[in-house]
Structure 1
């Protein structure tokens, strides 16, 4: 669900002191984008744009399973099928990924 190698790379790239700020910004932006996805669920352009954004954000922070789901939905929306992946599915995978991330991150950073 989480690509911990990517998380470690990001910590190395930006430094441990700035990592918390990046995570906080990620969480705020993802919550906002999922809201926009819910609002525009019937519009293929909005769905494609928001899923593209969410995919990139997820990949940046190592939320691999979420990125895969967003990629699937983005491609479907580009093919005028915005209902293949719902905002609720994205919200659920985000919530479970976030829970795992928050639960395991302290142990992994301490190692």
Structure 2
């Protein structure tokens, strides 16, 4: 679910002091997009939103969530937006977020 090696790499790259700031910013931005998609998914922006979520989550090691976002991004790009399982994406994010916070901020 979480690529902990990537998390360690990011912590080394930005430093322990700035790591929490980077995490907070990531979670804030991703939470905002997730909440918007839950409230009012915009099919015209779906590919762009999933691309953003994929890239952001990959940077922080959210491997499973990123993979689902990538599959959704491809589906949206090829006109198969109706095949995207947004609830599965939301669930993967919630589980990844919880696991990450539990371990990375302990």
TM-score normalised by L of structure 2: 0.91
Q: Provide the residue aligned with 2:8 in structure 1.
A: 8
Consecutive unaligned residues in structure 2, runs of 5 or more: none
**TM-score, length of structure 1 as denominator length:** 0.87
Alpha-carbon distance, 1:35 to partner: 2.7
Gaps of 5+ in 1: none
Q: Distance in 2 between matches of 1:98 and 1:14?
A: 20
Of the two structures, which has the highest relative contact order with CA contacts closer than 8 Å and spacing of 6 or more?
2
Mapped pair 1:48 → 2:85: no
> Which whole-Å CA distance do the structure 1 matches of 2:83 and 2:26 have between them?
25
Q: Aligned Cα RMSD in Å?
A: 1.4
Q: Is the 8 A contact 1:34 1:87 kept in 2?
A: no
Write the deviation string for residues 24-47 of structure 1: whole angstroms up to 9, x where unpaired.
Answer: 111110011113333234x1x311
Report the Cα offset of residue 106 of structure 1. 4.4
* 1:23 matches 2:23: yes
Question: In structure 1, how many angstroms separate the alpha carbons of the residues matched to 2:6 and 2:67?
Answer: 15
Number of residue pairs aligned between Structure 1 and Structure 2? 105
Q: Deviations over 1:56-75 (max 9, x none)?
A: 00001000000000000000
